[in-house]
Structure 1
Amino acid sequence: MSYAGPEFEPPRRPRRRPLTMALAALVPGALLGWVVYEGLGAVGDGDGGSESAAVRTPSATVSSATESSPTESSPADDEKPSPSPTTSSPSSAPAASGPLKDKVVVIDPGHNPANFQHTAEINRKVDIGTGYKECDTTGTSTNSGYTEAKFTLDVAHRMRTLLEKQGATVKLTQDGDRSYGPCIDERAEIGNEAHADAVVSVHADGSGTGNRGFHVILPGTVNSGAADTRPIVASSRDLGERIAGNFVRVTGSAPSNYVGDGTGLVTRKDLGGLNLSTVPKVFIECGNMRDTKDAAQLTSGTWRQKAAQGISDGIVSFLRA
């Protein structure tokens, strides 16, 4: 997502802190493995950039490709997403057996491919507890026009397939079956009403060139109006740390070089999707769509499968703990 949108304002620079012990304990060799991966000059890894790159640049705004209906050439076989059900229902039938039997996971694919056609609807203000923000945004895109909304839905489909194989019941907040949205408050409500054991909102960032890497956004402590995150802060951090560790391990991607001080973790209090959640929930920004090296990964079906696997492995680890 682009932080330029109303739901995604620039976060305050987080206080410097070491990589959490829980993340290190989860995958003790993950970050070390990435360093070796980087040193060997693997395809897709690149220059890290400085910490001062945390300041958002004008390129973080949504591109014109997001404002109009983008076209794409048909992907190669490895680019094609996992098949999705023909039903418009956002939920799946529970698997018969598996280690996650009786567990419910809600996947929230950020934005909606058709949001740009419904500006009046997505600009409607909704209550997020700490104030009011627009219902949704269009999201960002790569410079070539591959939209965040297409990316998030593709990764969500891949995650659903992986998690259902583990026996989980998987629900999506939207499956390309809505004309716009849902709004950020409804996205939170879907997870709450499902009594989800874990919710992950999938995004990709829209920062400046040279800003690279992923980060997981954790809910801060909020107790205001309709929002009370106090019961879920600790469990959400556990979920986020496990996802971050597994994302490094599976994708080989580095934590963000522009937010999070190298931890891959950022705490925020301004996102309605987190503020209004009553179940463990995190966001993940899988990379920066406006950086050419990150964009090369985000537009690769092979890499998106790895991203889905890393996020899913983190969810499985959390639910089996």
Structure 2
Amino acid sequence: MTVTASSTPGGAPGSASAPAASKNGSGAGPLAGKTVVIDPGHNPNNFRHTQEINEPVDIGTNKKECDTTGTDTNDGYTEAEFTLDVSHRIRAILEKQGAKVVFTHDGDRTFGPCVDERARIGNQAKADAVVSVHADGADEGQRGFHVILPAKVKGGAADTAPIVGPSRELGVRIAGKFVQDTGMNASNYVGDGTALDTRSDLGGLNLSKVPKVFIECGNMRDSRDSALLKSAEWHQKAAQGIADGIMAFLGG
């Protein structure tokens, strides 16, 4: 999720196309009647619109930039490409279980959406769960995944008190299933080994009225993590882990 100076998207060696999504909201399966919003972090086109994404938006407690470009691997595979591919795979899994899956965007916008709109999409969908998919951009040797939970904040349009508890439950479920399905260890640099980090500075969490978490699936700037993050096979494992955590939270 960290911003980098890179501006040229690269391709992931050996990446396969994301599987086609099944019929949205099929009405059959253990998640029938449930709505899940998947928020693919950043946008592949953001780097072309730095002025627009740097415009501040109100996140309740203060103002923050609309969005960021995201990070990338040392050979140019971008976080935005990664998050879209994994999000497509999550959608296919959840729709097979009967869930209605809504995306905040599908790479079809010139930039964004801004963080306040991303929260608003989940709120308007009356989502049972929202997951924002990311990858981190930390130093070499800093490895593993972590799930970001909303802190209790109140100010302006932000009031997370009603969602702090269920969001934590969602995050715990996802963290447990992600370890199980991917074999990825909890972050060795965030969360003190718990794979959980609570933050009050993210507009997408501050403005949410429904249970929501972010997941940083690994560190794109660590050579060992990045090898996984560029692997289509590992993308599927990551998607399964996230989807399994959502299903566990929703009782599916």
Kept in 2: contact 1:188–1:273 (CA 8 A): yes
Amino acid at match of 1:82: P
1:223 to 142, 147, 154: 154
TM-score, normalised with respect to structure 1? 0.76
Tell me which residue corresponds to 1:81.
18
Counterpart of 2:216 in structure 1 is 285
Deviation of 1:120 after TM superposition, in Å, equals 1.3
- Alignment CA distance shift 1:73-1:281 (3 Å): closer
1:134-166, CA deviations, whole angstroms, 9 ceiling, x for partnerless residues? 000000000010000000000000000000000
| AA partner of residue 196 (structure 2) | L
Misfit runs of 4+, over 6 Å: none
Change (3 A) 1:273 1:118: same
- Determine if the alignment matches structure 1 residue 317 to structure 2 residue 251: no
2:82 to 151, 157, 172: 151
Partner amino acid, structure 1, of 2:193:
G
Matched residues, number: 252
Structure 1 residue 225: deviation in Å?
A: 1.2
Instruction: Find the counterpart in structure 2 of residue 18 from structure 1.
Output: none
- Residue 72 of structure 1 aligns to which amino acid in structure 2? G
Q: Deviations over 1:61-103 (max 9, x none)?
A: x142xx13x2437735xx3322369xxxxxx731130000000
1:248 to 179, 185, 192: 179
Q: Distance in 2 between matches of 1:166 and 1:125?
A: 38
Give the conservation status (yes or no) of the 8 Å contact 2:27–2:33: no
Amino acid paired to 1:310: G
Amino acid at match of 1:244: A
Structure 1 CA distance for aligned equivalents of residues 34 and 120 of structure 2: 18
Q: Secondary structure at the match of 1:126?
A: strand
Larger radius of gyration: 1
Is residue 21–residue 95 contact of structure 2 (8 Å, CA) maintained in 1?
Answer: no
Work out whether 1:118 is the aligned partner of 2:49: yes
Q: 1:74 to 1:265 in 2, by over 3 A?
A: closer
CA contact (8 A) 1:63 1:143 kept: no
Question: Counterpart in 1 of 2:139?
Answer: 208
* Equivalent residues of 1:63, 1:141 under 8 A apart: no
Structure 1's unaligned 5+ residue stretches are 6-61, 86-91
**Distance change (3 Å), C-alpha of 1:177 and 1:142:** same
- How big is the shift at 1:311? 0.4
CA contact (8 A) 2:12 2:230 kept: no
TM norm structure 2: 0.97
| Residue of structure 1 aligned with 2:196, choices 249, 265, 272 | 265
Q: Determine the C-alpha separation between the residues in 1 that align with 2:179 and 2:24.
A: 30
**Whole-Å Cα distance in 2 between the matches of residues 145 and 83 of structure 1?**
26
Q: Is the 8 A contact 2:42 2:112 kept in 1?
A: yes
Match of 2:11 in 1: 72
Percent identity between matched residues is 65
Q: 1:184 to 1:203 in 2, by over 3 A?
A: same
